[in-house]
Amino acid sequence: MSSRVAVGVLGATGTVGQQFVRLLAGHPWFEATWLAGSERSEGKTYADAANWKLATPMPDAAAARVVQRPVPGNGPKLVFSALDANVAGDLEKAFADAGHIVVSNARNYRMDPLVPLLIPEINPDHLELLEQQKSAYGWKGGIVTNSNCSTMFLAMALAPLRALGLTTCNVVTLQAVSGAGYPGVPSLDILGNVVPFIGGEEEKLEMEPQKILGRLAGDHVEPHPVIISAHTTRVPVIDGHSEMISVGFASSVTAADIRAAFDAFSGLPQEIGLPFAPPRPLVYLEAENRPQPRLDVERENGMAVFLGRLRPCPVLQHKFVALGHNTVRGAAGAALLNAELMQAQGLL
């Protein structure tokens, strides 16, 4: 008999859902005992319902499970949400209302003032908002969200720069196709091509970091004042978002200051040893042409953010490159780390 905590996955058959299933397969604390899907999948085994698109085989335990209807009240207390935004709004609320803790990857509640937009290395104290949620919304459970995938790598890189007086940021992303799900980006649009637009993405990248990097002030989060300009593009890469980042500061900062801040950055997950916490959240690569998706995205189990090419920016002050695994640290892995923190803090 397993002593692991039973957890569920909403939207288990999609691409993010598949990452949840993969990452939970060997998890030391959690066991995915309940996989929920759309009507089309309900009643089928997961093996039959999911069009598995990961390069590692489907875990045997998951393959044999029967996909459930996502009925609030059914399933374990902790449910991960890999739902599409068009259904996540109603369904996540219903699950929270019914007493579930919903650890969500969807965008719907991220900017809700009472919902933590959680990155455990940066703002673990934002979990205190869960109490506000209960009283304000009358939910028996609650909702905790992780950020947009591109936001994750940017916020992680900017977090240690707050103490240096960070004021402005320009970011251009080169994003992988797995971020768009399946079927997602048609091959005719992206083979040998660049699409200089991703719907709704720039808005997220300009707003979410302010909340994530913000300070909990009693019952709300005071956004960090960094001003961000984002330009997001799609490139023919399977996994791994690259970001070209320039940063400005209130006063003059040296490259050594920034580098030291990157290297020293660590957080609660590292301190208390959460299973999915990367040893170092930010890994700086010295080679002049790194990080690169093909060579670096799978390192550290896809949970670290890789940095490189720190150098002066003639317009702002400094510039550098960031890279992260969009469906791991940028999605399912982020939610898992969130849930691990909550479990470690007795919130589940």
Catalytic residue selected from 100, 126, 224, 241: 241
Binding to a copy of itself by residue 86, rule CB under 8 A? Answer: no
- Least Å from the CB of residue 207 to a copy of itself: 10
State both tokens at 22: 């993969």
Binding to a copy of itself by residue 19, rule CB under 8 A? Answer: no
Binding to a copy of itself by residue 56, rule CB under 8 A? Answer: yes
Whether 325 is a known active-site residue: answer no
State both tokens at 243: 């970001």
Binding-site string for a copy of itself from residue 284 to residue 323, where x marks contact by CB under 8 A and - marks none: ----xxxxxxxxxxxx--------xx---xxxx--x-x--
> In terms of DSSP bridges, do strands 241-249 and 318-324 run parallel, antiparallel, or are they unpaired?
antiparallel
- Least Å from the CB of residue 200 to a copy of itself: 11
45: three-class secondary structure by DSSP: strand
Binding to a copy of itself by residue 235, rule CB under 8 A? Answer: yes
Nearest to 310 by CA among 293, 291, 295: 291
What burial letters (b/e) apply to 87-108, b meaning 16+ CB within 10 Å? bbeebbbbbbbbebbbbbbbbb
- Least Å from the CB of residue 202 to a copy of itself: 9
What number of chain residues touch a copy of itself (CB under 8 A)? Answer: 65
Figure out which of the listed residues 89, 165, 184, 223 binds a copy of itself, where binding follows CB under 8 A: 184
**Which CB, 15 or 68, lies closer to a copy of itself?**
15
Binding to a copy of itself by residue 45, rule CB under 8 A? Answer: no
> Cβ-count burial of 218 within 10 angstroms (0-12 exposed, 13-18 middle, 19+ buried)?
exposed
Figure out which of the listed residues 33, 38, 45, 233 binds a copy of itself, where binding follows CB under 8 A: 233
Figure out which of the listed residues 6, 25, 54, 94 binds a copy of itself, where binding follows CB under 8 A: 54
Catalytic residue selected from 149, 224, 318, 325: 149
Whether 313 is a known active-site residue: answer no
- Least Å from the CB of residue 307 to a copy of itself: 11
**Is 65 in contact with 45 (CB distance < 8 Å)?**
yes
> Cβ-count burial of 327 within 10 angstroms (0-12 exposed, 13-18 middle, 19+ buried)?
buried
Measure Cα distances from 268 to 102, 146, 274, 277, 341 in Å.
21, 16, 9, 9, 8
Cα–Cα dist 284/91, whole Å: 40
Neighbour order of strands in the sheet with 305-312: 227-234, 166-175, 241-249, 318-324, 305-312, 282-285
Catalytic residues, by residue number, are 149, 241
Question: Using CB under 8 A as the criterion, which residues of the chain lie in contact with a copy of itself when the complex forms?
Answer: 15, 52-57, 168-170, 172, 174, 177-178, 182-197, 206, 227-229, 231, 233, 235-238, 240, 242, 244, 246, 248, 288-299, 308-309, 313-316, 319, 321
